[in-house]
Amino acid sequence: MARRNRARRGKVILVAGGAGFVGSHLCSALLDAGNRVICLDNYLTGSPANVRSLNGNPYFTVIEQDICDDIAVDEPLDQIYNLACPASPPSYQADPIHTMMTSVTGTGNLLRLAERHAAVFLQASTSEIYGDPEEHPQQEDYWGHVNCTGPRACYDEGKRAAEALCFDNLRVGSVDVRVARIFNTYGPYMQPNDGRIVSNFIVQALKNEPLTVYGSGEQTRSFCYVSDLVEGLIKLMNCQPNPGVPINLGNPGEFTVSELAELVLSKVASASTIVHAPLPPDDPQRRRPDIARARTLLGWQPKVALHDGLSHTIAWFQTTLAKQRAARRP
């Protein structure tokens, strides 16, 4: 059900998954830029709390809905961002069939909505479409190495199918589609219990609990601060002409999981130790984006170093955990 008034300014933009980690930052940035924003979310992995600070804004509306159901928006839309999909492995594996349907049926529903409104459409795809990559760093021309029957397939193959739907819509001329392949992104408003590496390590360090390194800890990831990602998404959405190809958005700095654990411990006054736990099946061993395409076509590159981004994120988690503790006190 839609809430808040429908006053119009700038563009009218629907953000599916707008109450999630990245989505809440995107809604905020789009409002700051003078647009009217409609956030559509079923709160599966997001939270009304993520957009609470936006609720007083007369140009912000929330629709609570699953994108797998029929979507109707009366107001004319200029742009649609599709971020609606659980992103952390424990979350997307909790109901794998719904995850797959979210990417396929849900993306299909949003593409039809975009077609009806002649709205430009941006799909939040993922570095997971490269699977456990055999090429390094990953360029957009690489077709990937995904296990289509494993426990990550609901997410990886769902996102691959969504990309196929997007490019078919582009080829037949029904929707002006853009596809961002997002690499690991972190920052404030991640759920503390979300299960991803950055939130896990920070929360564990702040609670003086052991940091859980899965496997040897030699596997690598590249970590992008959320404000950099949001800037890249907005540039891609507004880029003219449409690049017509997927674009990697991520920070090319590459760190092992053990290095990240040490870095977090060096920044938090903590009694935590490091423990090793089993490596989840099909866990990609190396990941780093080649961002030459984003640099050339969008004039985009990340600005926030991991050291600084972690400091902001740790400070936010400190405040959030303190509020949670205070709320539990009798």
For ligand UDP, the binding residues in 298-317 under the rule CB under 6 A are none
Residue 59's contacts (CB-CB under 8 Å, 6 or more residues apart) are 7, 8, 9, 10, 31, 35, 36, 37
Q: By C-alpha distance, which of 18, 186, 15 is closest to 88?
A: 186
Query: Which residues are marked as active site?
Result: 155
Does residue 196 interact with ligand UDP by CB under 6 A?
yes
> What does 105 bind: ligand NAD, ligand UDP, none (CB cut-off 5 to 8 Å by kind)?
none
CA dist., res. 330 & res. 326, Å (int): 9
Does residue 257 interact with ligand UDP by CB under 6 A?
yes
CB of 68 to ligand NAD, least distance (A): 5
Q: Would you say 197 or 306 has its CB closer to ligand UDP?
A: 197
For the chain, state the CA radius of gyration.
19
- Per CB under 6 A, the list member of 79, 219, 222, 313 interacting with ligand UDP is 219
Q: Would you say 85 or 272 has its CB closer to ligand NAD?
A: 85
Q: Would you say 87 or 268 has its CB closer to ligand NAD?
A: 87
Does residue 142 interact with ligand UDP by CB under 6 A?
no
Cα-based torsion angle of the residue sequence 98, 103, 108, 110 in order, rounded to the nearest 10 degrees: 100
Structure-token pair, residue 119 = 């709205």
Handedness of CA 195, 201, 207, 211 (dihedral sign): positive
> What does 185 bind: ligand UDP, ligand NAD, none (CB cut-off 5 to 8 Å by kind)?
ligand NAD
Does residue 184 interact with ligand UDP by CB under 6 A?
yes
Could you tell me if 50 and 73 are in contact, meaning their C-beta atoms sit under 8 angstroms apart?
Answer: no
Could you tell me if 245 and 180 are in contact, meaning their C-beta atoms sit under 8 angstroms apart?
Answer: no
Q: Would you say 108 or 133 has its CB closer to ligand UDP?
A: 133
Q: Of all helices (H) and strands (E), which one includes residue 221?
A: strand 220-221
> What does 213 bind: ligand UDP, ligand NAD, none (CB cut-off 5 to 8 Å by kind)?
ligand UDP
Interface residues with ligand NAD (CB under 6 A)? 17, 19-23, 41-46, 66-68, 83-87, 102, 106, 124, 126, 182, 184-185
Q: Would you say 64 or 209 has its CB closer to ligand UDP?
A: 209
> What does 41 bind: ligand NAD, ligand UDP, none (CB cut-off 5 to 8 Å by kind)?
ligand NAD
List interacting residues with ligand UDP (CB under 6 A): 88-89, 184, 196-197, 200, 212-214, 219, 221, 257, 279-280, 283
